[in-house]
Amino acid sequence: MSTPSQVPLPTEEQAYIDNVVGGWTGRPGALLGILEAVQERNPHKYLSLETLRYIAMKTRTPLSRLYSVATFYALFNLQPQGENTVCICRGTACHTRGSRNLLQSVRLDLGLAVEDSDSDGNDADKLLLTTPDQKFTVRTVACFGQCAMAPVVEVNHRICGHATERTVQREIETIRAGE
């Protein structure tokens, strides 16, 4: 179990986490609620290892369990995210309806060119790429559970069903125009 001296979090962040943990104690889904609230407060929308260690200590939960939860749910990020996210479903229904082409198109539009190592066809694995200017993060998920609307893309937490390359390009253009 971690000790506070091993967790180099600012005092303000520790106080926030203490408050969140206190608010969720004894409630169903407490661990998910705590992780979600803490991640949402982070300017880069992710859970650092230091943060996970502190939450583990405060909730008396093994760090391995927190890590397990954070890596199981697509909602949680263990790496810093861009200001905007484009998340592409790579599940079977979405794949058969063109999500691979959507992924390649988005990567090219954002200057995240397809690497040679991606050409083996194994791009259904979890992918996370952030543009150098930190404006966009592109990531994939195994399934959104919205198969009837395949292919599905989530842009800044808004689901876009029956997505096309043009649909996603318009979403990105709209975000860029608002900056």
Domain 84-177, what fold? Glutaredoxin (3.40.30)
pLDDT for 115: 60
Give the length of the chain: 179
**The pTM is what?**
0.72
Q: What is the pairing mode between strands 136-141 and 84-89? A: parallel
User: Per residue in 119-164, pLDDT tens?
Assistant: 444 444 678 899 999 999 999 988 888 999 999 999 998 999 999 9
Taking residues 34-39, report their average pLDDT. Answer: 96
Q: Would you say 126 and 140 are in contact if contact means Cβ atoms under 8 Å apart?
A: yes
pLDDT in tens, 102-122: 999 999 999 997 664 444 444
pLDDT at 125: 63
Beta bridge partners of 147: none
Question: What distance in Å separates the CA atoms of residue 114 and residue 99, rounded to the nearest whole number?
Answer: 15
